Amino acid sequence: MLVSGTLSEQPVMWSLPVNAAGITNTGLREENQDRMTSFFSPYGWVYLVADGMGGHKGGAEAAELVAGGFEQRLLAPTEELSLQSALQETVLEVHRELRRRSSTEARFAGMGSTVAIAVVQETGAGLSLITAHMGDSRVYLHRGGQLILLTKDHTQVQWLVDTRAVDEATARSHPDASILTRAVGHGTDPALDISEPIALRNLDGILLCSDGLSGFADGRDIDRAVKRYPNPQDCVKELLQTALGHGSNDNITIQFIRIGDNPQPVEEQPVRSYITKPETAKLVHAPSPAGFPPRAPQKPFQKRLAAALFFLLPIGLMGTGILALRSGWLDSVLQGKTADPLQMRINQLKKRADKLEEAARKSSQSAEGDLQKLAALKATMKRRNYSTLKADLEGTKAELDRIARTGRSSGSHVVLATSVSGMGKTAPQTTKAKGKAISTNPVAPASLLDREEKIIAQAELDLKASQDRLALLEHKLPTPVTSDSGSKE
């Protein structure tokens, strides 16, 4: 079934003409459970594709309810609502109706539907496009020779692609490709994905389709058909044949809208092509250099393999060269000699023996240095001991000289108030009171001279004994250590 229309039938003056055509086909199925509609509403031109599912009659009934529900609500909105609010409220009402009929009528059990909507509006700045969808029916924009996917499928396999569990090449033939994660009449989240307004340009093309086309024909095939047949009526026919030619076994429904004038047909050129990620699905063509035939696009595995070889090959060559140098094989080849395995082994052992000898020499030098450090440490300790003993001896001499001078200078008015080291005698004790020295052992004046004479005599005896000990100590001192420069410490 082919349907076409043009905005020129409407009394509203738009900045650019809008022409559209649609087609639906049962394909290899017994029943067509797809539905499409297009109508002019207070919100602008509305284009819709629905793909039903559930039972022998449930799928067709679900798609019919979705298409009719949106047309009825958007043609006559009950209150002043924005387009986004009207779309969300409509899908909620249709969702509830599908759930009610699925639970009350056994023949409609499990019924549900996808939906893809494109609304073309006239704004003060020109035409704009707003899309809404749920499920795996799609909306594309064709602009400047590039095909852009405006919607993202609500399917299990798309979730796997988003989480990088599978790649795009595997997704098309994945067994979960047709399992939906969101659909009208299923689940508890009937929210539509609604886009922001997209400014439209002259020669832009808008494509809506069910998965009977997008599930079998890739972006290159769709782009080629749109370029070759810019007229909407011819374009939808070509896209239908493209889907059937790729073995589509599902219902096929397509709507194509051309903004402005129809561009000139573009014949297929020998070009290099590649397609980006599914969320953008942008098809870019780059001409081949002059004089060279076009090259087929590389697959992801081929790209990874080429990159791995590019990095691993130089590393392998460097490793081989290092092994050849270490083994001596390269020297023998450069000298024109035939490599002898036994001689090569002997050379390796010689090199190893040289390395061990060098290590032993370094170890011997290190041990010799440690011995020199130990000898220097011992010499330092001896010098320190001699210096300490010498200082003690000089201190003892000074103390004895002081004691001798103190004892000889004592008179009738002098009292020894300190203990003489090494004498075993203690001078009369004194206490201080109010800044004056007061003796605690008062002595009679008559015997004071005799007592001082005895103390002096005893001090002289002790001095003599100390001098003897000093001579003995000097005799026992160690021989001073002489440094390398000949000076003594």
Whether 248 contacts 213, CB under 8 Å: yes
Average pLDDT of the segment spanning 186-214: 93
pLDDT above 70 as % of the chain: 69
pLDDT in tens, 396-448: 777 777 776 765 554 433 333 333 334 344 444 444 444 434 344 444 444 55
Where is pLDDT greater, at 169 or 50? 50
Q: pLDDT confidence of 183, banded at 50, 70, 90?
A: very high
Of the ranges 167-181, 186-200, 473-487, which is most confident? Answer: 186-200
| Residue-level pLDDT at 8 | 37
Two structure tokens written together for 237? 């026919």
Q: Is the pLDDT of residue 214 over 60?
A: yes
| Residue-level pLDDT at 384 | 64
Q: pLDDT confidence of 268, banded at 50, 70, 90?
A: low
Strands 44-53 and 18-25: unpaired
- Considering only CA atoms, which of 299, 349, 33, 17 is closest in space to residue 170? 299
Whether 121 contacts 74, CB under 8 Å: no
Mean pLDDT for the chain overall: 76
Q: Which helix (H) or strand (E) holds 466?
A: helix 448-476
pLDDT in tens, 31-74: 999 999 999 999 999 999 999 988 667 899 999 999 999 999 99
| Residue-level pLDDT at 36 | 97
Rounded-to-integer distance, Cα 241 and Cα 222, Å: 11
Alpha-helix residue ranges (DSSP H) falling in 176-328: 211-214, 219-228, 232-245, 300-327
Other beta carbons less than 10 A from residue 395's beta carbon: 10
Whether 30 contacts 55, CB under 8 Å: no
Whether 34 contacts 51, CB under 8 Å: yes
| Residue-level pLDDT at 357 | 84
b vs e for 75-100, b when ≥16 Cβ sit within 10 Å of the residue's Cβ? Answer: eebeeebebeebbbebbeebbebbbe
Rounded-to-integer distance, Cα 98 and Cα 64, Å: 11
Q: Is the pLDDT of residue 226 over 70?
A: yes
| Residue-level pLDDT at 111 | 92
Phi, psi angle pair for 257, to nearest 5°: -120, 130
- Helix 448-476 and helix 341-408: axis angle, to 10°? 160
End-to-end CA, the chain:
121
Other beta carbons less than 10 A from residue 167's beta carbon: 12
- Quick one: how far is CA 172 from the chain centroid? 30
| Residue-level pLDDT at 66 | 96
Whether 180 contacts 111, CB under 8 Å: no
Q: Is the pLDDT of residue 100 over 70?
A: yes
Rounded-to-integer distance, Cα 81 and Cα 76, Å: 11
- Considering only CA atoms, which of 233, 223, 227, 237 is closest in space to residue 265? 227
Q: pLDDT confidence of 250, banded at 50, 70, 90?
A: very high
Residue 117 CB burial class (10 angstroms; 0-12, 13-18, ≥19): buried
Q: pLDDT confidence of 382, banded at 50, 70, 90?
A: low
Residue 289 CB burial class (10 angstroms; 0-12, 13-18, ≥19): exposed
Q: pLDDT confidence of 134, banded at 50, 70, 90?
A: very high
Q: pLDDT confidence of 311, banded at 50, 70, 90?
A: confident
Q: pLDDT confidence of 228, banded at 50, 70, 90?
A: very high
b vs e for 226-248, b when ≥16 Cβ sit within 10 Å of the residue's Cβ? Answer: bbebbbbbbbbbbbbebbbeeeb
| Residue-level pLDDT at 297 | 45
Q: Is the pLDDT of residue 164 over 80?
A: yes
Two structure tokens written together for 241? 């044949």
Whether 73 contacts 37, CB under 8 Å: no
Q: Which amino acid is at 186?
A: H
Q: pLDDT confidence of 464, banded at 50, 70, 90?
A: confident
Q: Is the pLDDT of residue 276 over 60?
A: no
Least confident of 180-184, 373-377, 378-382: 378-382
| Residue-level pLDDT at 359 | 85
Average pLDDT of the segment spanning 120-125: 90
Two structure tokens written together for 215? 């599930």
Average pLDDT of the segment spanning 330-341: 56
Q: Is the pLDDT of residue 374 over 70?
A: yes
Concatenated DSSP letters for 16-71?
S-EEEEEEEE-TTSSS--EEEEEEEETTEEEEEEEEEESTTTHHHHHHHHHHHHHH
Rounded-to-integer distance, Cα 45 and Cα 39, Å: 6
Where is pLDDT greater, at 347 or 29? 29
Two structure tokens written together for 315? 């590393």
